[in-house]
Structure 1
């Protein structure tokens, strides 16, 4: 096929580095792992992942150079991605994605230095808050911890530092240094500088970078480059704190907020410009910016069916929108819960097995009660949706609502669901903490449960991503010891972390802002640094409508570059 393997250039530092890595790995492939201490094992696991990300970044650089030279077409391939598909035995879509991502990450050292300052500012912000995030390492002395971060792969150059530190305190609404944004803006849409820096530092994976690339494609095509640059920087920072799935959800919320703010700005421009044409010639008359089209496309692909395996079994296949999947999951969850034996033996069935049997049971119950089938209106499964009043009113700049399973729901879909649903009002503080509901009960009341879900939105234990539907309400001070059944004494925990708090030395308290924080036992963290689950707080922050206005005002004060910096390459 397409073979163009040149003889290796032994003198080139990239060739020497890869040869050294290959030799080093070969020397330890059969080394036993049992001799590693727990702290060293944790450190090496994280270090390996960071090194894998940096090696992948180097590989993308090689792909970019191959594409620039036309290496594939020189041997008869139709494109670089076609050549990669053949030589590396990749799926065509994967090969094409690598070429596209490699071009977006082709950032020089000067621009990487500016991106490094963005990440440094974000790191100092988290450390300054006095809270860790995610699971701690089991290091006995607190040294060499995986959550201590990875050293930056690209040092911040003196020129970049001088450019962006004139007013280091100025931040956009999303926490990005405004002066750095001024330097990153000229490269917007052509490069992903903050993503490239994090990949080179080994703090995110290629999968994170692909999620960021897809999320940015959901932004309105006509937004200004400043907003685009801020969105890329924000997602790159969040990628260092969240897994790709949660990052994709943050990207969905961000797209909704940015689209709403963009539409609000355009509406203001039309109003100040005076009378506008009406009908088909009106500006934006053929444009929709409600971000609901992806959901419409998802609904159009709905399908479900069976394939006979020929051995007495059938395999199910299907495709549903996220909203429909939440509905199905909500209906099946009570029937799919683990069912321990009478003597306490755990349910041996896997989750998938329980869900499949729950589907059969649900169908049996529906057929046993004819009033639930067509011809009569029966009780419908209930989906719990958390949304702010501005989101329900479709005010621009608000993030999406979320279901109890953590699925983002667009404003249009939310209003459709609310047309035929019971709506409970939960008043919250500026920090997003619901007001107290009641004290006199030992068990959580329905109203308190709604308030807890509105505050914690899932298992509050740092590092856990289980949805609210899989959680229990835990009394921080046990009710038997005088603890009140009140929001300030309650926290949502999944079953595993509920046991961790009761039996494994973890303690819980409510912080000054009304949100729970967790303190590890001393044998995990001698300093007992408080830790939090930060994902849902980021989603709440996206609901601040004026963030674009604040950014523009700050830029007017600090000034923006009159022309693109020399280190920004031409497209």
Structure 2
């Protein structure tokens, strides 16, 4: 009598593989039976199929994370997660894109360790799509380098919730900046924007095959806020004389707006909407941040130590020399009306020359006060500044007046007035320098605008001689 062989139990790996194979075969058969499905049932099937895809992505992410944590990937012929995923799929003749493999690598790099349990659980439970999980992983990895440890769990939960609700990658990156401004070190957001400003560029125009000219523009948030506000002011649909609708696309209107800006930089046209005044930008800050900044200014004595009500400005300059000036804090952020996140320094710089509408928020986000755009430099004052200053007033700079901003020597938000003895022309570079280093100035009737550092020492080898 033949003896039946002793059954060898299947390994856990064989059992899991059998489950996946059975699931794949079952799903593959769904398409063949759709002819018999009623039209009313297709929406439920589409949603169910999306759930299956999410579960499959979660299972694949869990397997890759397990292989990474055990050292399987590190000990393989392809020690990088992306290459390991691509190779295993090629061996099994399963298609995989390079983008998908890189997303799994981003997740594996971030979801290792006890302090990222929430993110790992959200990924392996299928709460986050693979693409969103990869973005969250990248953002969270950068945030951990700039924010102190006690806030990590809170930030991870916020990012996961946003991504699970369908936030786009651009929204997650915007949230990243605001988290840095709120929870980062004092100068973290400013340092981020300084690096971005160094990378700004506009390429030369090149000709495409269809004869069009194209260029690439990269801007830091503060610069993009200015350009976006200006384009928005000039790109609204303009109906025809008989009320005909504006048939231009939004892209065409923005292109025309950019050409209008280029054509009207030196002369204001009151008959063209959006010209004759600087662009309008809404800056939002919390009441706590606003009061903290003003408190710092009060410690300096007077209105921010940046000027005075007299032409000579002796009181202001003496207060600066006394060393009592306390630099304004740089922690926190301001939100521009077109979605940009700005540092307080950048918001202060833009406030000199744009129509800034300060929106002050309470602790629960309610609007407490909405300012009025009534303090911008008029066209007449701009012409007078061009005539008086003859260009950038910062010592050693020769930028012509057409490329300069009007700067409030005494910040308008802190009581400064928009009159000639409190205004000076600065090129964009030196405008940033003045705001960042808290330089101050006085307007002399003979010698023009005289700049001094925060400690009262004069800037430059000598004053610029200008005609009265």
TM range (shorter): 0.5 to 0.7
1:385 matched to 2:283? The reply is: yes
Structure 1 residues not aligned, in runs of 5+: 1-8, 108-186, 264-288, 373-377, 438-444, 448-571
In structure 1, the partner of 2:199 is 301
Q: Provide the aligned C-alpha RMSD in A.
A: 4.2
Check the 8 A contact 2:81/2:104 in 1, yes or no: no
Alignment correspondent of 1:130: none
What displacement does 1:19 show?
A: 2.6
After superposition, where does 1:397-416 map in structure 2 within 5 Å?
399-416=332-349
Q: What are the equivalent positions in structure 2 for 1:143-182 lying under 5 Å apart?
A: none
In the alignment, which residue of structure 2 is the partner of 1:154? none
Query: Are the structure 2 counterparts of residues 341 and 46 from structure 1 closer, same or farther at C-alpha, using a change threshold of 3 Å?
Result: farther
Partner of 1:255: 180
Provide, for residues 339-374 of structure 1, a one-character-per-residue CA deviation record: whole Å limited to 9, x for no partner: 56789886554433332333334334447x3899xx
Q: Tell me the equivalent position of 2:105.
A: 99
| Closer/same/farther in 2, CA of residues 396 and 23 from structure 1, 3 Å limit | farther
Cα deviation 1:451-484 (Å, max 9, x = unaligned): xxxxxxxxxxxxxxxxxxxxxxxxxxxxxxxxxx
**1:358 and 2:257 aligned:** yes
TM superposition score normalised by structure 1 = 0.46
Q: Which sections of structure 2, spanning at least 5 residues, go unmatched?
A: 1-10, 271-275, 294-327, 374-468
Corresponding residue number in structure 1 for 2:212 = 313
Cα 1:106–1:322, aligned 2, differ >3 Å: closer, same or farther? same
Q: Say if 1:70 and 1:80, in contact at 8 Å, map to a contact too.
A: no
Q: Return the alpha-carbon distance in structure 1 between the equivalents of residues 26 and 241 of structure 2.
A: 54
1:202-225 Cα shifts (integer Å, max 9, x gaps): 333233323332333344648654
Matched-pair contact (CA < 8 Å) for 1:50–1:203: no
Residue of structure 1 aligned with 2:14, choices 4, 9, 12: 12
Partner of 1:534: none
Which has the higher mean CA deviation after the structures are superposed, 400-409 or 201-210?
A: 201-210
Q: Which secondary structure does the structure 1 equivalent of 2:29 belong to? A: helix
Alignment of 1:52 with 2:53, yes or no, is: yes
Change (3 A) 1:15 1:85: closer
Determine whether 1:79 maps to 2:80: yes
CA offset at residue 402 of structure 1?
A: 0.9
**SS at structure 1 position matched to 2:364:** coil
Change (3 A) 1:66 1:226: same
Partner of 2:233 in structure 1? 334
Deviations along 1:59-105, whole A, 9 cap, x unmatched?
Answer: 22233344445458644x463433445656654x8645522412543
Q: 1:356 to 1:241 in 2, by over 3 A?
A: same
| Contact 1:72 1:79 (8 Å CA) reproduced | yes
Q: How far has the Cα of 1:298 moved from its partner?
A: 1.4
C-alpha distance in 2 between matches for 1:51 and 1:106: 26
Q: What SS does structure 2 have at the residue aligned with 1:385?
A: strand
**By how many angstroms is 1:292 displaced?**
1.5
Distance 2:120 2:200 in 1: 37
Counterpart of 1:230 (choices 136, 154, 157) is: 154
Q: Give CA-to-partner distance per residue, 1:301-357, whole Å, 9 cap, x none.
A: 222232212442223222222222222222222333345678988655443333233
Give the 5 Å matches for 1:436-515. Answer: none
Distance 2:46 2:219 in 1: 36
Does 2:129 match 1:205? Answer: yes
After TM superposition, list the pairs within 5 Å mapping 1:409-428 onto structure 2.
409-421=342-354, 424=357, 426=359
Distance in 1 (alpha carbons) for counterparts of 2:16 and 2:240: 59
Q: Deviations over 1:112-139 (max 9, x none)?
A: xxxxxxxxxxxxxxxxxxxxxxxxxxxx
Residue number in structure 2 paired with 1:156: none
Residue 219 to residue 318, structure 1, CA distance change in 2 (3 Å): same
Query: Counterpart of 2:339 in 1: which secondary structure?
Result: coil
Quick check: 2:61–2:104 contact (8 Å CA) kept in 1?
yes
Give deviations 1:19-44, integer Å, cap 9, x for gaps: 34433443333636994449x72x65
Tell me how far 1:290 sits from its aligned partner.
Answer: 3.3
* Residues in 2 aligned to 1:355 and 1:32: alpha-carbon distance in whole angstroms: 48
SS at match of 2:280: coil
Change beyond 3 A, Cα 1:69–1:346: farther
Which structure ranks higher in relative contact order (CA pairs < 8 Å, sequence separation ≥ 6)? 1
User: Residues 100 and 332 (structure 1 numbering): CA distance in 2 closer, same or farther, change over 3 Å?
Assistant: closer
Residues 195 and 344 of structure 1: CA distance in aligned 2, closer, same or farther (over 3 Å): farther
- Indicate how the Cα distance of structure 1 residues 363 and 81 shifts in structure 2: closer, same or farther if over 3 A, else same: same
C-alpha displacement at 1:243, in angstroms? 0.5
Change in CA separation of 1:397 and 1:366 when aligned onto 2, cut-off 3 Å:
closer
1:431 and 2:432 matched: no
Q: Could you say if the C-alpha distance between residues 349 and 197 of structure 1 is closer, same or farther in structure 2, counting changes exceeding 3 Å?
A: farther
Cα deviation digits, residues 276-315 of structure 1 (max 9, x gap): xxxxxxxxxxxxx432122112112222232212442223
Shift of 1:17: 3.8
